[in-house]
Amino acid sequence: MAKKYFGTDGIRGKVGEYPITADFMLKLGWATGRVFAKEGSGFVLVGKDTRISGYMFESALEAGLSAAGVDTRMLGPMPTPGIAYLTRTLRAKAGIVISASHNPYYDNGIKFFSVNGTKLPDELEHQIEQYIDAPMTTVESAKLGKVKRVSDAAGRYIEFCKATVPPHLDFKGMRIVIDCAHGATYHIAPHVFSEVGAEVVTIGGEPDGLNINDECGATHPEALAAKVWEYRADLGIALDGDGDRIIMVDHKGEIVDGDELIYIIAKSRQEEGKLHGPVVGTLMSNLGMEHALKALGIPLFRANVGDRYVMELLTEKNGMLGGEGSGHIICLDKTTTGDGIVSALQVLAEMQRTGKSLHELKSGMKKYPQVLINIRTDKKVKLDEIDAVKKAVDAVEKKLGDKGRVLLRSSGTEPLVRVMVEGVDEDDVNKYANQLANDVRKAIVS
148-174 confidence digits (pLDDT tens): 999 999 999 999 999 999 999 989 999
CA 418, chain centre distance (Å):
18
Average pLDDT over residues 91-112: 97
Alpha-helical segments (H) within 15-132: 22-37, 53-67, 80-89, 122-132
**Same domain for 415 and 314:** no
Considering the domain boundaries, does residue 217 fall inside one? Answer: yes
Residue type, 65: L
Distance CA 44, CA 146 (A): 11
Domain boundary among 367, 391, 425: 367
pLDDT given at position 254:
97
Task: Domain of residue 220: give its range.
Answer: 172-256
pLDDT given at position 443:
87
Considering the domain boundaries, does residue 124 fall inside one? Answer: yes
Q: Which residues are catalytic?
A: 101
Considering the domain boundaries, does residue 294 fall inside one? Answer: yes
**Same domain for 177 and 77:** no
pLDDT given at position 252:
97
What confidence tens digit (pLDDT) does each residue in 260-276 have? 999 999 999 999 999 99
**Same domain for 199 and 89:** no
What confidence tens digit (pLDDT) does each residue in 316-366 have? 999 999 999 999 999 999 999 999 999 999 999 999 999 999 999 999 999
Alpha carbon dihedral 265, 271, 274, 280, in 10-degree steps, equals: 40
Domain boundary among 241, 256, 271: 256
The residue among 332, 312, 307, 313 whose CA lies nearest residue 321 is: 332
pLDDT given at position 208:
98
pLDDT given at position 7:
87
User: Taking a C-beta distance cutoff of 8 angstroms, is the pair 21, 110 a contact?
Assistant: no
Is residue 430 predicted with pLDDT exceeding 90?
yes
**Same domain for 267 and 220:** no
Sheet holding 175-179, edge to edge: 199-203, 175-179, 235-239, 246-250, 255-256
Distance CA 429, CA 407 (A): 12
Domain boundary among 256, 275, 299: 256
Mean pLDDT highest for which of 37-46, 237-246, 413-422? 237-246
Average pLDDT over residues 12-19: 97
Distance CA 441, CA 419 (A): 10
Number of domains the chain is built from: 4
**Same domain for 185 and 124:** no
pLDDT range class, residue 414, cuts 50, 70, 90: confident
pLDDT range class, residue 437, cuts 50, 70, 90: very high
**Same domain for 180 and 265:** no
Q: In CATH, what number is assigned to the domain containing residue 432?
A: 3.30.310.50
**Same domain for 357 and 416:** no
pLDDT range class, residue 197, cuts 50, 70, 90: very high
pLDDT range class, residue 60, cuts 50, 70, 90: very high
**Same domain for 381 and 314:** no
Q: In CATH, what number is assigned to the domain containing residue 68?
A: 3.40.120.10
pLDDT cut 70: percent of the chain above it: 99
**Same domain for 361 and 297:** yes
Is residue 426 predicted with pLDDT exceeding 80?
yes
Average pLDDT over residues 31-54: 94
Considering the domain boundaries, does residue 193 fall inside one? Answer: yes
**Same domain for 96 and 37:** yes
What confidence tens digit (pLDDT) does each residue in 127-154 have? 999 999 999 999 999 999 999 999 999 9
Considering the domain boundaries, does residue 419 fall inside one? Answer: yes
**Same domain for 410 and 314:** no
What letters, b where the CB count within 10 A reaches 16 and e where it falls short, cover 95-119? bbbbbbbbbbbebbbbbbbbbebbb
Considering the domain boundaries, does residue 156 fall inside one? Answer: no
- The model's pTM: 0.91
Could you tell me the maximum CA-CA distance found in the chain, to the nearest angstrom?
A: 70
Task: Tell me phi and psi for residue 392, to 5 degrees.
Answer: -65, -40
What confidence tens digit (pLDDT) does each residue in 203-258 have? 999 999 999 999 999 999 999 999 999 999 999 999 999 999 999 999 999 999 99
Is residue 413 predicted with pLDDT exceeding 70?
no
**Same domain for 414 and 315:** no
Considering the domain boundaries, does residue 159 fall inside one? Answer: no
Alpha-helical segments (H) within 172-246: 189-195, 222-230
Considering the domain boundaries, does residue 164 fall inside one? Answer: no
What confidence tens digit (pLDDT) does each residue in 364-393 have? 999 999 999 999 887 777 888 888 889 999
pLDDT given at position 39:
78
